[in-house]
Chain A
């Protein structure tokens, strides 16, 4: 447990300080959100109708950005081999890495998501739900994205490959979160979407570490 806590602090420090950390992802997110009105035109009605969905999709994209270094860094400098030699199971290590990734990138992004949505014209009453969806969805994005990152170990063009592998798997959380936000905006029952999103995030948190550990062992062998 102590080992895992130390690993978490290490991962968090690396994700927070190395390679721009949350600033990079939030900056990317802000830039995408800025381009949206430039592409769609500044008409407030049109922006307001699309704002929550766009904020949500941009979030999924922004959470892909820093995945490439999640396992690759430790794989290249041999730290992953040392970690694999320790008595801690690789599954737990992978889960801790994803949690640290979520803390460093997903949590700041989920704070930025309601801001972006409201700035684009979404009703401020949506903000708490968008925050909740972004936090739960970010957890799913981190675990599913971590799976893609582990699978792409040792490949050429890792970053692009991770996006191609991960994006199709992100459809369910994007549907559930988008559905919940849409339903809330239309004054329909929205709880089921949020609950399904949380269920997906929890299932990903339980299952993805198995796939990540298998992928890491495969790349190391």
Chain B
């Protein structure tokens, strides 16, 4: 599957249909998740603000998934010198930055009624902020080098270096005992969250990830078109 799609022509033919389909699936999941999320009962402690969870937690998942995709694409771009992987990495970074920003903003909006503060310096918030800064650094490095091939490879090295940061995010949660709620979904012994909240959360998570996939594919297509038109323009200039 992945090796077949590594061919740019096959990827363009596939993604022409796949990207809108993924987008439609994302819209369906998001609609269902929002409906169930708004219909869910109020939490006995958090009241109606618990609904922010349905837009906040999936954004953080999507942000981490985006970084994993960026790291994976960078690996293929760096090791196999694959142009399409480089285009995919370039396309993933601004999306990841967007999802990370969304997680930070919704988290801040949730923190105000819950903790009484817009921002709390605890481990998880800080590490998501660092994730955001890593995306920013990736974009800045990529745009600061004029030669596009060199820029892509330098940025890919940075992405792989930053990949070390993802386990540190997890680790810092344990090391820095903090205000933030501990892990309640992925843990041994099953989720400790009630089903009325879990189902919309999972639906929203699927919706966010599908939306990321659709946007990523669409942006990769745009990047491929940009490079093709640039190549055509360069060829026309030499004629």
Q: Do A and B bind each other?
A: yes
How large, as a class, is the contact surface on chain A? 20 to 34
CB-CB < 8 A to A167: which residues of B? 133
Whether the pair B172, A156 counts as a contact (CB closer than 8 A) is no
Interface-lining segment among B145-153, B197-205, B213-221: B145-153
1/0 per position for B146-180, CB-CB distance to A under 8 A?
Answer: 11001001100110111011001000100110000
Alpha-carbon distance A207/B165, docked complex (angstroms): 13
From residue 175 to 221 of chain A, which have CB atoms closer than 8 A to chain B? 175, 179, 196, 207-208, 211, 214-215, 218-219, 221
Is B136 an interface position by the 8 A CB rule? yes
Whether the pair A152, B141 counts as a contact (CB closer than 8 A) is yes
Choose among A165, A175, A221 the residue that contacts B141 (Cβ–Cβ < 8 A): A165
A67, chain B: closest CB distance, angstroms? 14
Is A155 an interface position by the 8 A CB rule? yes
B192, chain A: closest CB distance, angstroms? 28
Whether the pair A156, B157 counts as a contact (CB closer than 8 A) is no
Choose among B126, B133, B140, B145 the residue that contacts A154 (Cβ–Cβ < 8 A): B145
- Quick one: which of B127, B154, B158 has the most chain A CB within 10 A? B154
Whether the pair B130, A151 counts as a contact (CB closer than 8 A) is no
Whether the pair A169, B165 counts as a contact (CB closer than 8 A) is yes
Alpha-carbon distance A7/B162, docked complex (angstroms): 29
B63, chain A: closest CB distance, angstroms? 14
Is A25 an interface position by the 8 A CB rule? no
How large, as a class, is the contact surface on chain B? 20 to 34
Whether the pair A154, B137 counts as a contact (CB closer than 8 A) is no
1/0 per position for B16-27, CB-CB distance to A under 8 A?
Answer: 000000000000
With A175-B176, A211-B160 known to touch, is A154 a contact of B150 (CB < 8 Å)? yes
With A154-B145, A172-B172, A175-B172 known to touch, is A164 a contact of B150 (CB < 8 Å)? no
CB-CB < 8 A to B141: which residues of A? 151-152, 155, 161, 164-165
CB-CB < 8 A to A208: which residues of B? 161
Is B144 an interface position by the 8 A CB rule? yes
Alpha-carbon distance A99/B133, docked complex (angstroms): 27
Is B134 an interface position by the 8 A CB rule? yes
- Quick one: which of A147, A154, A165, A208 has the most chain B CB within 10 A? A165
CB-CB < 8 A to A147: which residues of B? 161
Whether the pair B144, A218 counts as a contact (CB closer than 8 A) is no
Is A41 an interface position by the 8 A CB rule? no
Choose among A156, A196, A214, A221 the residue that contacts B146 (Cβ–Cβ < 8 A): A156
Whether the pair B158, A151 counts as a contact (CB closer than 8 A) is yes
Alpha-carbon distance A214/B126, docked complex (angstroms): 30
- Quick one: which of A172, A207, A211 has the most chain B CB within 10 A? A172
CB-CB < 8 A to B147: which residues of A? 154
Chain B's closest residue to A161 (CB) is B144
With A168-B130, A169-B161, A175-B172 known to touch, is A161 a contact of B150 (CB < 8 Å)? no
Chain B's closest residue to A215 (CB) is B157
A190, chain B: closest CB distance, angstroms? 13
Is A88 an interface position by the 8 A CB rule? no
Q: Point out residues on B near A: beta carbons under 8 Å.
A: 78, 126-127, 130, 133-134, 136-137, 140-141, 144-147, 150, 153-154, 157-158, 160-162, 164-165, 168, 172, 175-176
What 12 new A-B contacts, CB under 8 Å, besides A167-B133, A171-B165, A215-B157? A152-B144, A153-B154, A154-B145, A155-B144, A155-B154, A157-B144, A164-B141, A168-B162, A171-B126, A172-B172, A211-B157, A218-B150
Report 24 cross-chain contacts, Cβ distance below 8 Å, ordered by A residue.
A151-B158, A152-B144, A154-B145, A155-B141, A155-B145, A157-B144, A161-B141, A164-B141, A165-B137, A165-B158, A168-B133, A168-B137, A168-B162, A171-B130, A171-B165, A172-B165, A172-B172, A175-B175, A175-B176, A179-B175, A179-B176, A207-B164, A218-B150, A219-B154
Q: Which 7 A-B pairs give the minimum distances between C-beta atoms?
A: A168-B133, A155-B144, A218-B153, A165-B137, A155-B145, A151-B154, A168-B134
Q: Point out residues on A near B: beta carbons under 8 Å.
A: 147, 151-157, 161, 164-165, 167-169, 171-172, 175, 179, 196, 207-208, 211, 214-215, 218-219, 221
